[in-house]
Structure 1
Amino acid sequence: MSGLHGKTFIATCAEDKTQVLKRLLEPKGARVLSFPLIHIVPAANKLSEIRKELGKLYSFQWIIFTSTNGVANFFYWLNELHLSFQASDYKFAVIGKATGEALVQQGIQPNFTSESTDSVEFATQLQQILGNESQNILVPTGNLASNNLEKVLGKQHQMNYLVVYKTETSAAIDKAISAQIEAAAYDLIFFLSPSAVNAFVSIFQPKIAVSTIQSVAIGKVTRKAMEQEGIEPKFVPSLPNLELMVEELEHYYKNNS
């Protein structure tokens, strides 16, 4: 029997990621409750900028994707605006395995994939590939994204950040699951992004002492956001990958049962 059998997990991420967690955890006997605190939507408020930048794609040599949401919404806008796109005209760099897989699903093989999701580490590695000649680079991103790439790549290359999606806080919160959290009737709460952490704190503080929750952070960036709120995650996978997280979490429970 899996060490995850009978466990109750609460997923605070957007519904698409929750479905992945259910697919991975439910066959092992775990219960996954969907409690989305955020959702991702195309950045319709940025339509004029999107139309302008995507209309001059020919001017870019590289396209950098920092997340699966960036990939999905970049292609959403290409289709929405009926723009032609010849992938062979560009080179692609992605942060993380999941982002690379999302690009492959679009029929494009990345030219560079960083296993690390640390943006500065990614940028440092990519700089070695880009070399000394200045490149014009497009970065489809979200409204809450950091500009850490700029610190490394902006010194030598023309960086163009295009907001193609935005993160919004969910308007409706499941009252039954909220009550479960307040009663600590769960095993772990999953946090996959800093925005989910911020939304959680805004909802539950001061109803509960958020520092006491039992939680998982998908990676270093999310962990940092949690620690800033006084939350120490009980578990952080070695790499920010859902499949690996479930595998390591299973070992964690097996070794700590």
Structure 2
Amino acid sequence: MASPLAGKKILVTRSEDQATAFIEKLKEESAIPLVAPLLSFKPRILYENKKIFTKLHDFTWVFFTSANGVKFFFNQLDYWGLSHSVIDKLNTAVVGKKTNDMLREFGFKADFQPENFQGRQMVQEFLQQYSQKERIILFSGNRSNDDIPRELEQNHVFFRKIVIYDTLLNEESRQQLLEYIENDIPDAYTFTSPSTIDAFLELTKVHEERVKSIKMTGLCVCIGTTTENKAIEEGFKHILVPDVFTIEGMTVELTNYFLMKG
């Protein structure tokens, strides 16, 4: 029996180094991935960050809110010639499974992972188990949302946020993306962060009317509620969000949608 996704053209906007697993999942369902990585990432190398890395013992917990945060954390340890073992005496918290998977790639595993993959809920679940007197260092990107810092501040938890990578618009994908939307090719548009929605709108702004039509009638699949809120804010009307905030969850949501649609 053919998959409900067979022949469906799915726009994949995730960064190139993170899109492979999603593309493979879609191909397993006989879908046609339309690949247009809208973002790229680069480390933010600052001498003041080196000083922070040498004083990690001042903190009791490290918070990672993305797989990129983990990757660039260890990359910067390598850049500054510091041992990965500096994290041994700290507890680590991750926002979700994929972040923990990346941590495992470096030989470590999280001491805390929330059941709900959202920043605000992460802090709430954390404080149900641990003291407000913990000292937290949070590593993130320049475009990471402020849900976790805001929640920590409201609960009077000491923390420091360090930006260790920058999220950049991938101009190289502009022409390919425009070709897709000019010809009304995608059956669904997938977004894995608020930043991918920002990038999509920036790279397609030359086609204002076409983008308006996509917002009104196009199928928009968001990886989680934070991305969903961004899509709603930007005017997308037809939005799906998986029960499990992963690319596997997105694939299941797409499959179920087209199964019901027939």
Q: TM-score, normalised by structure 2?
A: 0.90
* TM superposition outliers: structure 1 runs of 4+ over 6 Å: none
Q: Is the 8 A contact 1:182 1:207 kept in 2?
A: no
Between Structure 1 and Structure 2, how many residues are aligned?
Answer: 254
Aligned equivalent of 1:244 = 249
1:175 is paired with a residue whose SS is: helix
Deviation at 1:241, TM superposition (A): 0.6
Deviation at 1:182, TM superposition (A): 2.2
Deviation at 1:170, TM superposition (A): 1.0
Identity value in percent: 28
Aligned equivalent of 2:37 = 36
Q: What is the 5 A alignment of 1:143-158?
A: 143-154=142-153, 155-158=155-158
Deviation at 1:177, TM superposition (A): 4.0
Q: Is the 8 A contact 2:221 2:250 kept in 1?
A: no
Query: Aligned equivalents of 1:32 and 1:104: distance in 2?
Result: 28
Q: What is the 5 A alignment of 1:36-185?
A: 36-44=37-45, 47-86=46-85, 87-132=87-132, 134-154=133-153, 155-185=155-185
Deviation at 1:174, TM superposition (A): 4.7
Query: Aligned equivalents of 1:177 and 1:254: distance in 2?
Result: 27
Deviation at 1:176, TM superposition (A): 4.3
Query: Aligned equivalents of 2:238 and 2:247: distance in 1?
Result: 16
The AA in structure 1 aligned to 2:58 is: S
The AA in structure 2 aligned to 1:17 is: Q
Q: Is the 8 A contact 2:174 2:204 kept in 1?
A: no
1:137 is paired with a residue whose SS is: strand
Aligned equivalent of 1:254 = 259
2:171 is paired with a residue whose SS is: coil
Distance 1:158 1:204, change over 3 A: same
Deviation at 1:143, TM superposition (A): 0.5
Per-residue deviation, residues 108-163 of structure 1 (Å, max 9, x unmatched): 1211101312211110111122224x222111101112332233323433201111
The AA in structure 1 aligned to 2:66 is: S
2:37 is paired with a residue whose SS is: coil
The AA in structure 2 aligned to 1:82 is: G
Deviation at 1:244, TM superposition (A): 2.0
Q: Which runs of 5+ in 2 are unaligned?
A: none
Q: Is the 8 A contact 1:73 1:165 kept in 2?
A: yes
Aligned equivalent of 1:229 = 234
Q: Is the 8 A contact 2:143 2:167 kept in 1?
A: yes
CA RMSD, 1 decimal: 1.7
Q: Which runs of 5+ in 1 are unaligned?
A: none
Query: Aligned equivalents of 1:175 and 1:148: distance in 2?
Result: 34
Query: Aligned equivalents of 1:176 and 1:90: distance in 2?
Result: 44
Deviation at 1:207, TM superposition (A): 4.6
